[in-house]
Structure 1
Amino acid sequence: MRQHKQWAGWGATGQQAHQHYLVEPRHLAGGGDLRHVTEYLRASGWKDKSKTGGPLVFDSPDKSVRVGYDPFTQPGGWTISGRQTARQEAWHATFGQQTPVEIVAGLTDALFTTRKAHAPNVWEPLLHQGWETEHGQHFTARSPDGDAFVRFHQADPGQAHWWAGARNEHGRVWEAMFTPTTPMHLVQAFSTALADPQPVMRPLGRVPPSQRIRTTSVSVLPSQLGAWQQARIAAARAATWACNSFATSRAPTSPGAHSYTTADGRRR
């Protein structure tokens, strides 16, 4: 069902509005504009290592994390990789090409925030939004519409496998996978973005052909889009400053000799 309304916000008079759509649920909204992720990285001081005509590649200032997007291979998509450090084992997270950028950004944005004192819980944001859990061979949470899932399986201590995905009436849309060493606060940031009930915006011609989505037509001025993009860039700079300030003031700590992840997403 489609509705139409005027997008309220900034904008000078006389501008030509462009038609966009607010799409929900967000997990079926399609990939979206890659700049939602890459411009945040750029504003945070990451180095663009991409080559003309090749995959997108961004390295963190300390070269400890790399974010890439490759549309030229199959299945292609996003790869976020962290190298081994004194506090963290090497880790990888991958997202299919049709993973909404707003969900990918849930993880990449969290790279710039300080870890909270309490242990991360991947399930908490899902349960808060009414996702249902089921216990079988794997521990699984499913979205209220049944079209998205987050799944956990732990074979042995230290071998906690997380994966997620979404499907519509045409079949699988995207999948995400995390190595056992992926920091749990990043997986929780992903699940928070995935469960967010707010719709995401897509321009005319970029709305997936699915009966499982709901759309609302909105008229958006170029200045409104520009202001929104600038606000996100400002947020990136603020988060980077806060994270750097915390890192320089934090006393060094030693990692535990043994750690593993339990089914509730907590690091032991």
Structure 2
Amino acid sequence: MKKKQWQGWGPGEQTEQHYLVQPRALAGGGDVRHVSEFLRASGWRDKSKTNGPLLMESPDRTVRVAYDPYILPGGWTIHGQADGLNGEWTANLGRQTPVEIVAGMTDALTRPRSAHAPNVWAPLQEQNWHTRSEGEHYTATSPDGTAWMQYHHSPDGTAMWWTGAKDQQGIGWTANFTPNTPMHLVQALSAELANPDPVMRPRGRVPHSAQIRTWSVSVKPSQLSAWQQARITAARAATWARNSARSTRPRATARTHTPAGGARTRR
């Protein structure tokens, strides 16, 4: 295990031991506030009941994000109502899905959809994932073999995406997406799944796995708070910019109406 010392803090604060974990797909669930606080800062409503599971609702009430650790197998459920582009859809992600990977999908729910056609495979190929096809099924596997993304096309025409990660002890998580799940959301998740950067976990929350690499880091509470606040501030700024753009958008000018039988001026 490697040791890193973080520099640059003022006096009076005690450092806390955390760990950088790689690959992120095997880092464990993490703090759900990484997801919920970003959504809240983006204008989502917190519909959670006291001491109950997390439940966040989009401003237009068409999408809900829930996390329930009190049931088996537990985990994340993201549900979208039917709209003009997609039918009703659901994404289910296991309890040990790292919050950074979940946030790839939930953060994308707060942003305007890109005009470019989504490509789920592109982020994986950029990180040298191995790909193979078997008839109508297509699979990409991470270079270390711990994570995968699969596309299944059934004979009845139903398309299904499935992803997950697992170590040699069989510990990990899976996620699946119903056929109508918007592809730009699946692509956003695959980008975080393939992200090679490590993620941080506090001491005592690092999974026991022979297939992860860890670096010990000394972090002060103010530094952790600053990182968290930067993410929230970015969400608020983006939300403010979108709302401002909508409010300043020029309205169509009403056309002049000439009453029936009225005189028209010739030029």
What TM-score comes out, normalization by structure 1 length?
0.88
Amino acid at match of 1:45: G
CA distance in 2, matches of 1:245, 1:85: 24
Amino acid at match of 1:110: A
Task: Give the secondary structure class of the aligned counterpart of 2:192.
Answer: helix
CA distance in 1, matches of 2:7, 2:240: 31
Residue 193 of structure 1: how far off its partner (Å): 0.4
CA distance in 2, matches of 1:247, 1:131: 40
Structure 2: gaps (5+ residues):
252-267
The answer to whether the aligner puts 1:213 opposite 2:203 as a matched pair is no
Partner residue, 1:265: none
8 Å contact kept, 1:30–1:208: yes
Question: Could you say if the C-alpha distance between residues 12 and 75 of structure 1 is closer, same or farther in structure 2, counting changes exceeding 3 Å?
Answer: same
What TM-score comes out, normalization by structure 2 length?
0.88
Superposition misfits of 4+ residues, deviation over 6 angstroms? none
Partner residue, 2:117: 119
CA distance in 2, matches of 1:60, 1:182: 16
Task: Give the secondary structure class of the aligned counterpart of 1:229.
Answer: helix
Q: 2:30 aligned to 29, 32, 36, which one?
A: 32
Task: Give the secondary structure class of the aligned counterpart of 2:205.
Answer: coil
Residue 6 of structure 1: how far off its partner (Å): 1.4
8 Å contact kept, 2:138–2:152: yes
Q: How does 1:76-87 map to 2 (within 5 A)?
A: 76-87=74-85
Partner residue, 1:182: 181
Partner residue, 2:262: none
Amino acid at match of 1:117: A
Amino acid at match of 2:186: V
CA distance in 2, matches of 1:34, 1:165: 18
Q: How does 1:188-207 map to 2 (within 5 A)?
A: 188-207=187-206
Residue 250 of structure 1: how far off its partner (Å): 11
CA distance in 1, matches of 2:47, 2:68: 13
Of 85-94 and 215-224, the range deviating more from structure 2: 85-94
CA distance in 2, matches of 1:73, 1:198: 31
Amino acid at match of 1:67: V
Aligned pair count?
Answer: 249
Residue 241 of structure 1: how far off its partner (Å): 3.2
RMSD: 2.0
Partner residue, 2:101: 103
Q: How does 1:149-188 map to 2 (within 5 A)?
A: 149-155=148-154, 159-188=158-187
Q: 1:12 aligned to 10, 13, 30, which one?
A: 10
CA distance in 1, matches of 2:246, 2:108: 15
Task: Give the secondary structure class of the aligned counterpart of 1:39.
Answer: helix
8 Å contact kept, 1:12–1:223: no
Amino acid at match of 2:93: F
Partner residue, 1:58: 56
Q: Share of identical aligned residues, percent?
A: 61
Task: Give the secondary structure class of the aligned counterpart of 1:108.
Answer: helix
CA distance in 1, matches of 2:143, 2:31: 26
CA distance in 2, matches of 1:144, 1:172: 18
Task: Give the secondary structure class of the aligned counterpart of 1:171.
Answer: coil
CA distance in 2, matches of 1:157, 1:121: 23
8 Å contact kept, 1:112–1:243: no
CA distance in 2, matches of 1:201, 1:22: 4
Residue 168 of structure 1: how far off its partner (Å): 0.7
Amino acid at match of 1:200: V
Amino acid at match of 2:153: Q
CA distance in 1, matches of 2:237, 2:138: 37
Partner residue, 1:227: 226
CA distance in 2, matches of 1:6, 1:78: 35
Q: 1:131 aligned to 129, 132, 147, which one?
A: 129
Residue 7 of structure 1: how far off its partner (Å): 2.4
8 Å contact kept, 2:39–2:110: no
Amino acid at match of 1:44: S
